[in-house]
Structure 1
Amino acid sequence: MENKKVNILGFDFLNSSFNNFMDGLKERINQRQNTFVVTANPEIVVAALNDNQYAETIKKADYLVPDGVGIVMGANILGSDMSERITGYDVLLDLLAWGNQNHKSAYFLGAKPEVIADLKTIIPQKYPDLSVAGYHDGYFNDSDEIAAEIAQNKPDMVFVALGFPKQEYFIEKYRQQNDGLWIGLGGSFDVLSGHVQRAPQFWINHRIEWLYRLIKEPTRFKRMLALPKFIRLIKKQKKQK
């Protein structure tokens, strides 16, 4: 896999096309290489800058990829040629289709019980040749028990949708118990199950998916404040360079 990177506020983001990244990721999955992927947006970066433990956790990832137009904007301000987002949801859809074609196995962890309940119907319908190693919602007390189930079933891919920073802490703690892919996916299960609607393609193509989500979920406003703060920090980094 191409390993060109851009340092953004101290975090080394992969600068690759989506297709090149996916080709390399699938090769690692085929070889059962232990792989930790963080799909990060400006909100995650700002949170990490304010939390040393979280910062160190995501720096341990094998790949930190730009999930969020703000990351691409920041990279461009710093003079890089980054042009593509690599969103967790797009990675999930691509891997599910590929896993179905190649008889891979996956474990699904996270989201609300009703979301997981719907996934248990949707996954076999859409991906009948994907082997499901297990499902568990994001409401649990014993993470060791879940990790033990993953270790026993040995899935090729572990999809963790607990939201940050919980999903990254979980992965970093337990990833050595199973060789394969571990990736944090935020709210992707909500979209896959139909509980949340993704922005239409027009909004995605024009890089305003964030605005569509804000219109649909006004309570996200406080979270969106991370973007202007992120851009200010980027401009400060540029001046220092």
Structure 2
Amino acid sequence: MTKQSKVSILGIPFINTTQSAFEQTLQQRIDQQQNTFVVTANPEIVMYARNHPEYTKLIKSANFIVADGIGIVIGAKLLKTPIEERVTGYDLFESLLSWGNQHQKSAYFVGAKPAVIQKLREVVSRQFPDLVIAGTHDGYFDNDTQIVNDIRRTNPDMVFVATGYPKQEEFIERNRAVTNGLWMGIGGSFDVLTGTVKRAPATWQKMRLEWLYRVMKEPARIGRLMVLPKYLLQVLKQRFLN
């Protein structure tokens, strides 16, 4: 695999690649049974890491950190070190399910509410019938033991954890050694795949306004947007300090 360049934003090293090229990289690593930890990071995660050094150390231990969020792409441009493309966690998730279906791979799913994870099993079985569902577990657990033992027993090619940051990355970092597959944290992707949460229409995605669509649909999220101006201010500080 060719070593891609990195772009550092507030101390977080993002891989500089395209969605297509990164998908191929992950497919190769899965085929070769290489243990792989992927962090899909947006400005919220970057700012959380900035205030939590242990989390910074944790995500830097990942094999890849991808720019999942238009704010990361904008930040890279402001720093005059542009990232080739936004690489969204949800699009990676869907692409890997499709590829896994074509190649009879197996996947384990951890996260979301009990009703959502049950619906996910039904949706995946219907849309990706040749993908082996190694197991599922909702995101409401206090102890990893049962889930980890099940992952060890089933030895899946891919483990998708959708419990939100920092919990999903902490779970992966603790347990990724039990199987040499792909481990990826993907936030609310199970909700989107099952239709529990509607993704922004393609036109909004092209205009890079998914964040605005989500806020319009879920006004309670507006408080989370307040991190964006703080993030951009810190990026501008980094630019002028450099």
1:2 deviates by: 4.3
The equivalent of 1:224 in structure 2 is 225
- Secondary structure of the residue aligned to 2:237 is helix
Shift of 1:83: 3.7
Distance 2:69 2:171 in 1: 22
SS in 1 for 2:44: helix
Which amino acid in structure 2 is aligned with residue 36 of structure 1? Answer: F
| 1:69 counterpart letter in structure 2 | I
1:2–1:16 Cα contact (<8 Å) kept: no
Range with bigger deviation, 180-189 or 47-56? 47-56
Percent of aligned pairs with the same amino acid: 52
Name the structure 2 match of 1:50: 51
Look up the equivalent residue of 1:144 and give its one-letter code: T
Name the structure 2 match of 1:99.
100
TM-score (norm 2): 0.98
In structure 2, the residue matched to 1:190 is: 191
**Structure 2 equivalent of residue 163 of structure 1:** 164
Counterpart CA distance in 1 for 2:11 and 2:64 is 14
TM score, norm. by length of structure 1 = 0.98
Letter in 2 for 1:87: T
Q: Is the 8 A contact 1:65 1:86 kept in 2?
A: yes
- Kept after mapping to 2: 8 A contact 1:111/1:137: yes
Q: Distance in 2 between matches of 1:132 and 1:43?
A: 31
**Maintained 8 Å contact 1:190/1:196:** yes
The residue aligned with 1:8 is 9
Equivalent-residue separation in structure 2 for 1:141 and 1:206 (angstroms): 40
SS of structure 2 residue aligned to 1:134: strand
**Residues 221-240 of structure 1: CA distance to partner in whole angstroms, max 9, x if unpaired?**
11111111110000000001
AA aligned to 2:89 is G
**Unmatched tracts of structure 1, length 5 or more:** none
Residue of structure 2 equivalent to 1:80:
81
Which runs of structure 2 are paired with 1:1-241 in the superposition (5 Å)? 1-241=2-242
Q: Look up the SS of the partner of 1:235 in the other structure.
A: helix
User: Residue 208 of structure 2 aligns to a residue in which SS?
Assistant: coil
Q: Is the 8 A contact 1:2 1:21 kept in 2?
A: no
**What SS does structure 2 have at the residue aligned with 1:79?**
coil
How big is the alpha-carbon RMSD for the aligned residues of Structure 1 and Structure 2? 0.8
User: Structure 2: where are the runs of 5+ without partners?
Assistant: none
Query: Could you list the per-position Cα deviations for residues 190-213 of structure 1 after superposition, in whole angstroms to 9, with x for gaps in the alignment?
Result: 000110000001111011110000
Q: Distance in 1 between matches of 2:61 and 2:227?
A: 23
Report the CA distance between 1:142 and its aligned residue. 2.0
| Kept after mapping to 2: 8 A contact 1:2/1:20 | no
Q: How many residues align?
A: 241
